[in-house]
Amino acid sequence: MHTRTLGQGLQVSAIGLGAMGMSQSYGPNPGDRDDMIRVLRGAVERGVTLIDTAEVYGPFVNEELVGEALAPVRDRVVIATKFGFRFEDGRPAGLSSRPEDIVKAADGSLRRLGIETIDLYYQHRVDPQVPIEDVAGTVKELVAAGKVRHFGLSEAGAATIRRAHAVHPVTAVQSEYSLWTRDPEPEVLPTLAELRIGLVPFSPLGKGFLTGTVDPTTTFTAGDIRATIPRFTPENRDANQAIVEHVRALAAAKGATPGQVALAWLLAQQPWIVPIPGTRRLERVEENLAATGLALSADEVAVLNTLTTDIGVQGNRYNDAGLAMVGL
């Protein structure tokens, strides 16, 4: 398995695995928990060393799943989790990155994951009520206490990244980034390059759209987050189909899948980009990992680089509530 280095020397597999969908957001949760444990362990056996979770996934149960699955292979993996939400009656009830809440969240995550140290600890969303310097300072104290190894931010803007990094080095920023979500390119990517911080794109396959398995006729089941996203209305799926058709044609010419082309494009952008596609199926893990061996020519990358600007992407990537929490 190819490896890459995020900021502060954190070496991980070139493609990681996002575990969120094993506990929420994509329709009914898997009925057999053991199946998800097999997928997680199978991914590690195939070379994946970066596994991503969060306390809010479930909430809480995803960390428990990841902790149980990875216990036998703990020394082979980098476990990333996140803080930044407050909870009422076990459900998320808004943002909170107050120092005391971060410490409480870290202790809870350590307990559920069954580990002594969180390898990579992200602020899940920037809390506008708490100065980012206070957040970074609290994580710095957790690092000093041996509870955290590396500090990360998720969906943060360039100015916030700079302010946090000045207090404690940021190892990685996690943001949505893919062939049809290019938001980090104007400001965040240049900032990461300057500060030598890694980028960990989530939804690198466009929440399934870039795999070619979602079309205007697809019906989303109850609990599928895509039913709430403007980009996934039938009209916008129809309008955005031209993007997938181009990716599909290139994939066919190269004997690959559309998803592999989408991941190979991301890997070609910078050597410090490590996507974390999520899946519930081991065969998809294998397909995704094969993208590390797919070579795209400079011309192919250049065409893909201009694909969304030439064709246009219809619909926002979040609803209004989701958009309000990104890029701060």
Distance CA 203, CA 30 (A): 19
The DSSP bridge partners found for residue 172 are 152, 198
- Per-residue confidence (pLDDT) for residue 83, from 0 to 100: 98
What 239-244 contacts at long range (C-beta under 8 Å, 24+ apart), as own/partner pairs, is 239/312, 239/314, 239/315, 240/180, 240/209, 240/313, 240/314, 240/315, 241/215, 241/216, 242/311, 243/179, 243/180, 243/210, 243/307, 243/308, 243/311, 243/313, 244/209, 244/210, 244/212
Q: Model-level pTM?
A: 0.97
Summarised one tens digit per residue, pLDDT across range 102-159 is 999 999 999 999 999 999 999 999 999 999 999 999 999 999 999 999 999 999 999 9
For the annotated catalytic residues, the residue numbers are: 57
Residue 26 banded pLDDT, cuts 50, 70, 90: confident
Domain ranges in the chain?
Answer: 3-323
- Per-residue confidence (pLDDT) for residue 37, from 0 to 100: 97
Summarised one tens digit per residue, pLDDT across range 232-278 is 999 999 999 999 999 999 999 999 999 999 999 999 999 999 999 99
Task: Find the radius of gyration of the CA atoms of the chain.
Answer: 19
Superfamily holding 3-323: NADP-dependent oxidoreductase domain (3.20.20.100)
Q: Which of 96-100, 107-111, 130-134, 214-218 has the lowest mean pLDDT?
A: 214-218
Residue 32 banded pLDDT, cuts 50, 70, 90: confident
Stretch 201-211: mean pLDDT: 97
SS3 166: helix
